[in-house]
Amino acid sequence: MEKGEEEKPTKAGSRLCCICNQRRAALKRPKTLQQICRECFYEVFEEEIHQVIVENQLFKPGERLAIGASGGKDSTVLAYVLSELNRRHNYGLDLFLLSVDEGITGYRDDSLETVKRNEIQYGLPLKIVSYKDLYGWTMDEIVKMIGLKNNCTFCGVFRRQALDRGAALLKVDKVATGHNADDIAETVLLNILRGDIARLSRCTSIVTGEDGPIPRCKPFKYTYEKEIVMYAYFKRLDYFSTECIYSPNAYRGFAREFIKDLERIRPQAILDIIQSGEDFRISTFTKMPEQGTCERCGYISSQKWCKACVLLEGLNRGLPKLGIGRSRGPNNDRKNGTKETNGAKSIESKQCGTLDF
């Protein structure tokens, strides 16, 4: 329903909340365009997430759960809402904040300050794992060596592993990430555009990596980005909203803009894309890479060495191109599936590997 234009302009505040019918409507809910009051917004926002958690049985009582916390809006709201719901509905979860310090001066050091404040505000123990400790390199040092091309590849590969290693150190059973409905809708579209049928078939799963060491889940799978921002805004949550200095333009990709345009015409479209993604039936048996372990570090890997070790080897030997694109490395006996990041910039939004589960 193209409601945008249809809605009659009424004087602000003159209308009652269409949920409680008592208080004055304070906002138009992005997902449904209903005019509701702040209190009802908090309630439907939190209740929807609770329902997603219950229906998908995301957590079991007594589990230890790490919340991937970057200090950004998604993870800050996630930490806040999860600790709130855990209390309210007795999930029985042991919650932790888990942050990755990539070593980016002027970006991550500031956002980590936010996470440290969150640690105190929400009373959740925080664990920070740093690239420097794990790999001996900070992103600043990596960029100094390789420049601003392909640096997101390093960051993405390292972060993925760093989260798992941090989770292992915390001895948690699961990791929850702040991926929201917009992110997932975008991933569905991107996988269609780039012909990645294997990822298309699994990118809408709410839990991933169940066969890996520590499964990840996305409690915000059906939560709109706009509502997360709205929630953070009204609740005056303390979050950090600066873009990474090494990929300043990466965030606004063409696919993302398309989704925003769609949302403007029809808010339901974001949910519809996710619905489509869930309903797709993949006919050909898509070959999943065999899972083994890295001969060097023992991390899960489909190759002889895991991607992080290949990249690291390149850095340490002064050959940073190793493992990027089709170059040859220790795994040269097999075709390397890495995609080049530079060609795709215009359609992708989150370059930094955050969507690669």
Partner 1 sequence: MACNPSNCQSNCYGNEEKAEVVVGEEYVSANQNQNLCIKCKTKEPIGGDEGRMFCIECFRSNLYGKFRLAVTSHAMITPTDNVLVAFSGGPSSRVALQFVHELQHKSLKNFDASRDRSLPVFGVGVAFIDETTISPLPSHDIDRAIQDIRLIVSNLAPPIKQLHVVPIENIYSGDGTNRLKNLLDAVSDTTGKEDLLLHLRMLSLQKVASESGYNKIVLGLCTSRIACHVILATVKGQGYSLPADIQYVDSRWEIPIVLPLRDCLVQELNMLCHLDGLKTVELLKGPCSGINGLVSSFVRILQEENPSRECTIVRTAGKLTPFHFNRILESDDSVIPLATRRRQKRYNLKPNESISSESFCPICNSPLNKSDMLRLSNLGSCQTSSDSFGAACCSSCRFQILPKDPSSMDHFYSLLPQPLVARAKHSSYDNLSLLREQIQDCLLSDSEDDS
143 is annotated as contributing to ligand binding: no
Stretch that binds partner 1, among 33-41, 207-215, 263-271, 312-320 (CB under 8 A): 263-271
Strand, helix or coil for residue 292: strand
Give dist(CA 267, CA 264) in Å, integer.
Answer: 6
What are the start-end ranges of the E strands in 9-149?
27-28, 35-36, 64-68, 94-101, 126-130
**Residue numbers 17-36 binding partner 1 by CB under 8 A:** none
To partner 1, the closest distance from the beta carbon of 196 in angstroms equals: 8
**Interface with partner 1, residue 268, by CB under 8 A:** yes
| Amino acid identity for residue 84 in this structure | E
Tell the residue number behind the tokens 């060097």, with chain if given.
Answer: 296
DSSP letter assigned to residue 341:
S
User: Which residues fall within 8 angstroms of residue 259, CB to CB, at 6 or more apart?
Assistant: 182, 185, 186, 189, 269, 270, 273
The correct pick among 69, 189, 306, 315 for binding partner 1 (CB under 8 A) is 189
To partner 1, the closest distance from the beta carbon of 280 in angstroms equals: 5
Stretch that binds partner 1, among 81-89, 115-123, 288-296, 340-348 (CB under 8 A): 340-348
To partner 1, the closest distance from the beta carbon of 121 in angstroms equals: 38
**Interface with partner 1, residue 57, by CB under 8 A:** no
Stretch that binds partner 1, among 48-56, 64-72, 156-164, 282-290 (CB under 8 A): 282-290
Q: Which CB atom, from 275 or from 302, has the smaller least distance to partner 1?
A: 275
Burial of 337 (0-12, 13-18, 19+ CB in 10 A): exposed
Both ends of the chain: CA-CA distance in Å?
33
Tell the residue number behind the tokens 């589960």, with chain if given.
Answer: 357
Residue stretches of the annotated binding site for ATP? 68-70, 74, 100, 178, 183
Residues in the site for partner 1, rule: CB under 8 A? Answer: 1-2, 6, 188-189, 191-197, 200, 254, 258, 261-262, 265-266, 268-269, 271-273, 275-284, 339-340, 343-344, 346-347
